[in-house]
A and B are shown apart, each in its own frame.
Chain A
Amino acid sequence: MSSFSGIHLALQALLTQQHGLEVTSHNVANSGTEGYHRQEAIFRAGPPQGAPGLASATFAGQVGTGVFVDNVKRYSSELTDMRYRRELADTRQYEVQSEYLLQVEGAMAETGEDGLSAILDSFWNGWSYVSTHPDDTTRRTNLLEDAKNLTRGLSGRVERLNDLRRDQNMAIIQRVDEINEIAAQVARLNIEIGRFSGPNTSPNDFLDEQDLYLDRLSEIAGVKVSHENTGQVMVSIGGHVLVHGPTAHVINYSPEPTNFNLVDMEWEDGQPLFLQSGELAGLIEGRDVVVNEQIESLNNLATTLITEVNALHQQGFGLNDTATYDPTLPPPNDIIGPQREFFTTTPPIFDPLNPALSITVNSELDDVNNIALSQTVVLPDPLPGVLTPGLPIAPGDASIADEIFRIKDNALTFGSPPNTVTDTISHYNNMRVTNLALDVNRAETLSNQHDNLLQVLKEKRESVSGVNLDEEAAHMLQYERSYQAAVRLMTTVDEMLDRIINNMGLVGR
């Protein structure tokens, strides 16, 4: 055993305490850093040495060699991380969805005075209003305005939904880009981590960065993560590998012609992308399911409205119309009128695939006298036996207007078989609004539920990995004291050596 081993031991202690203090300062410095996991220098006693001596048998067997830093431990709980990320993916899915659906709900503004329900009522009321004075131009103009307001209400809603859907599409594209970018970063980190990790070295700060990326990936796409011993990770989405070792697989997107040219996603190897949770799943469900349901309901409503109103309106006559009597036809077809449509159904103005978007009032009715309210023709008595054109109509009759006004009370059929619904038009509309409200409500509730759980898990995570300043202060004190003690030790050994070197052998001098 060397005479200087004491100094060496004290030096080792000084260095070790210094290292410990460095880790503590790293912790304190990063106590507010996102994704930082607290670290701790784990000390280990040095390997003991057998003390060789002349009479070793009577000596104590071994002598310690002081303290070393064994490794710097990074506090993290893989299990909590896993659960946290799963909840994070669910929370974000419903959060994004509810934000988006709230936008849809806001854009539709159905509960207010501009709601489709109110617009529809005004439209029906217009018919009642005109029926009390069918020959009054002001009332006819009023009806025309109500009808135009209705067509604008329907097409405006579809336009707004289409706009929202396009915004949603942009958000989806942006998320996919982000996934690809992060996947590349995770693959890069895998290489770095692989290079640094060893039995006693842990690339702690790379692991923090990796955790942050994995959190974000979970948020976006609900990824599955499996850790390898090296600290590298394998990441997959819906059963397909995203990152494995140094390789990141890219997700491609392209406009899908069958889905209004909104983007569709697939893996670079051509496999479809399955998403179970995360922002992307929420965005896609909002874009492809909820908005589509709304548009489809509006289309069904428009189609039924057009059919019902036109069927009655075509039987009527405008104020300046005349009828033709054809004795060769059986009644009531023997009286032939102009058969004007109320809502245009001829392309290109009308698009049968997008009825709610393209619904318009027949432009012939801009001359409000052409609105057909009467179905009574003044017939000659007796009826002539020949084709007689130019028969005048009775302007006081408003039976067409009355009939159209009554459409609101009738149970009508919406949609095409087999998915048909039979209800009154205002109930059908209410159902559409309520369905959206329930969707929003459900998304909000689920997002809140998952968020509550997420908060608990976040606390748990923070509880394991977070920096507690009291602990750090205590550690700091401890390192300081140990450091001071080691300095004192070194001084003591030095004094001992001083005695040996300078004062020994001077006896009797």
Chain B
Amino acid sequence: MRITHRLQTDNSIQNMRKSLEKLYELQIKAASGKKYRRASENPAKVSDTMSMNSSLRILETYSEAIHTTKEWMEMTDFALTRISDDITRAKSLTLDGLDDGSLNARDGIVAEIDGIIEQVVEMANTKDVGRYVFGGFLTKTTPFEFVPGGSVSPVGASTTVTIPSSNPANPDLTIDYPVDSVIFNGDDNIIERDISGGETIQVSVNGGEAFSDGTGGQVFDPAVKDMYATLIRIRDVLAEEDYLKPHVSSNLYATPPGPPAIEVAVPFDDPNLDPALLPAGLPDPSQPVDRALLEEAYVQLQEVHEIVLEKQNGNGSRLRLLETALERATTQTLELKGLISRNEDVDFAQIAAEIGHQELIYQTTISVSGRVSAKMSLFDALA
């Protein structure tokens, strides 16, 4: 082949250009730490990386959702534990009441149970970041509300108590008295959430279901598993006087016809009252509490407690499920990051070696080119 000087020059320019280009690419790779700058450098690999990056972002979202959910469920767990403890305490207080019927002892128990009622209402109104956890979907509405006896109708308006007469000549006394109650303002929905693709977990415990037999605002009934009604019942039975007050007052001061004058109630164990004026058949305040009623309520309290425990267990096992899911998400994240790194991150040792090699090639190329462009033709040899 006939070689011309121009061909030589062109070639050496081309070689220097290519060599420098390679060096530049290697330097970019080393500086960015990435194997590819553009998808077109390796479409298949980059497409894989894109998919994996997308999975990683979704996984991070799931982790975030799991964390938030965990907070909520931990709040729920805390509330349920406290309520369960309170019920346990109420149970032992009820047993105490059964053992020691003295008025003084009962007064203390009644006061404590009253406190427990207040506390379980407060716990059942637990919030997570401003949202009520037991209210179903109605997270902005206070789910449980204490309603004093008789103040709301018909909810918790009254209950009927029959006092057997000891005198066969007199009929049994049947009285209505207003009871306190706790109403439920939530709905019956349960919040659920995706914690990984297609896996849904129950997040909330429905308060109505757990504490007030679904509907709330009930008065005590052995067929209704209402925690509040049961606790209120126990308190009222132990504080026997309270539901007798209206009866006593109406019998003493009201002249039929006319409604019982609740507001002027006088305690029937008031020492100032003339015992002779008391109607026959009234329970003796010095006598122990009505055991049958209290035992009935105690059994009910145990059943109610079981429901709460069951909800607590359910929530607890779901929490563990959540932790497993979180662990799995963390493992997956690490694995994906490893794969992505293998796909797109450069091996620095290798790049360093390649750059060294390429630098050598470039140096050789320029020194050869220098010699080519140096004057080398017959003209220079002519004298």
Contacts and interface: CB of A to CB of B under 8 A. Distances in A.
Query: Do chains A and B interact in one complex?
Result: yes
Interface of A: 31-32, 101-102, 105-106, 110-111, 115, 117-118, 120-122, 124-125, 128-129, 131-133, 135-136, 374, 376, 378, 394-398, 402, 405-406, 408-409, 426-427, 430, 433-434, 436-441, 444, 455, 458-459, 462-464, 466-470, 473-474, 477
A120 B51 CA distance: 12
B204 to A, nearest CB: 8
Nearest to A127: B61
B197 A409 contact: yes
A105 B50 contact: no
A131 B193 contact: yes
A32 B61 CA distance: 65
Contacts of A124: 58, 61
25 contacts: A31-B5, A102-B38, A118-B53, A118-B54, A125-B61, A128-B62, A132-B68, A374-B137, A394-B136, A394-B189, A396-B135, A397-B189, A426-B54, A430-B51, A430-B54, A438-B40, A440-B39, A440-B40, A441-B40, A458-B10, A463-B3, A464-B2, A468-B3, A468-B5, A477-B382
B320 interface: no
Contacts of B4: 31, 462-463, 466-468
Contacts of B7: 459, 462-463, 466
Interface residues on B, range: 35 or more
Nearest to A441: B40
Contacts of B44: 434
A441 B43 contact: yes
Contacts of B2: 463-464, 466, 468
A462 B11 CA distance: 11
B129 interface: yes
Given A433-B39, A437-B46, A128 B194 contact: yes
Interface of B: 1-7, 10-11, 14, 36, 38-41, 43-44, 46-47, 49-51, 53-54, 57-58, 60-62, 64-65, 68-69, 72, 129-131, 135-140, 187, 189, 191-194, 197-198, 377-379, 382
A133 B131 contact: yes
B129 to A, nearest CB: 6
B382 A437 contact: no
B53 A396 contact: no
A117 B43 contact: no
A115 B50 contact: yes
Contacts of B38: 102, 105-106, 111, 437, 440
Given A105-B38, A396-B131, A433 B50 contact: yes
Contacts of B65: 128-129, 131-132
Given A124-B58, A128-B61, A467-B6, A395 B47 contact: no
A455 B43 contact: no
Given A455-B14, A467-B6, A430 B47 contact: yes
Nearest to B378: A473
Nearest to A445: B40
Closest 4 CB pairs of A and B: A394-B137, A396-B139, A466-B4, A440-B40
Contacts of A477: 382
Contacts of A117: 50, 53-54
B382 A111 contact: no
B57 A396 contact: no
A473 B14 contact: no
Contacts of A459: 1, 7, 11
A133 B382 contact: no
A223 to B, nearest CB: 24
Contact of B378 (A105, A458, A462, A469): A469
Contact of A378 (B129, B138, B198, B378): B138
A477 B378 CA distance: 10
Given A394-B187, A396-B136, A433-B50, A135 B378 contact: no
Contacts of A122: 57
Given A105-B40, A470-B378, 20 more contacts: A31-B6, A32-B6, A111-B46, A120-B54, A121-B57, A376-B187, A396-B136, A430-B47, A433-B50, A434-B43, A434-B44, A434-B46, A436-B39, A437-B38, A438-B40, A439-B40, A459-B1, A466-B5, A466-B6, A469-B378
Nearest to B69: A132
B379 A135 contact: no
Contacts of A426: 51, 54
Interface centre among B51, B129, B137, B377 (most CB of A within 10 A): B137
A332 to B, nearest CB: 16
A408 B58 contact: yes
Contacts of A438: 40, 43
A129 B5 contact: no
A466 B61 CA distance: 67
Interface centre among B6, B40, B129, B130 (most CB of A within 10 A): B40
Nearest to B344: A111
A477 B377 CA distance: 14
Contacts of B36: 111
Given A32-B6, A136-B129, A426-B54, A474 B43 contact: no
Contacts of B1: 459, 463
A344 to B, nearest CB: 26
Contacts of B60: 125
B47 A434 contact: yes
Given A121-B57, A455-B14, A402 B379 contact: no
A395 B43 contact: no
Nearest to A101: B40
A473 B3 contact: no
Nearest to B132: A396
Contact of A111 (B39, B187, B378): B39
B67 to A, nearest CB: 9
B5 A378 contact: no
A475 to B, nearest CB: 10
A396 B203 CA distance: 12
Given A430-B50, A463-B1, A102 B138 contact: no
Contacts of A440: 38-40
Contacts of A131: 65, 193
A427 B50 CA distance: 10
A356 B189 CA distance: 39
Nearest to A408: B58
A121 B58 CA distance: 7
Given A115-B50, A394-B187, A125 B57 contact: yes
Contact of A395 (B6, B46, B64, B137): B137
B47 A405 contact: no
Contacts of B130: 135-136
Contacts of A408: 58
Contacts of A455: 14
B198 to A, nearest CB: 7
A135 B139 contact: yes
B269 to A, nearest CB: 44
B54 A121 contact: yes
A125 B58 contact: yes
A434 B39 contact: yes
A355 B53 CA distance: 27
A255 B168 CA distance: 114
Nearest to B379: A473
B280 to A, nearest CB: 46
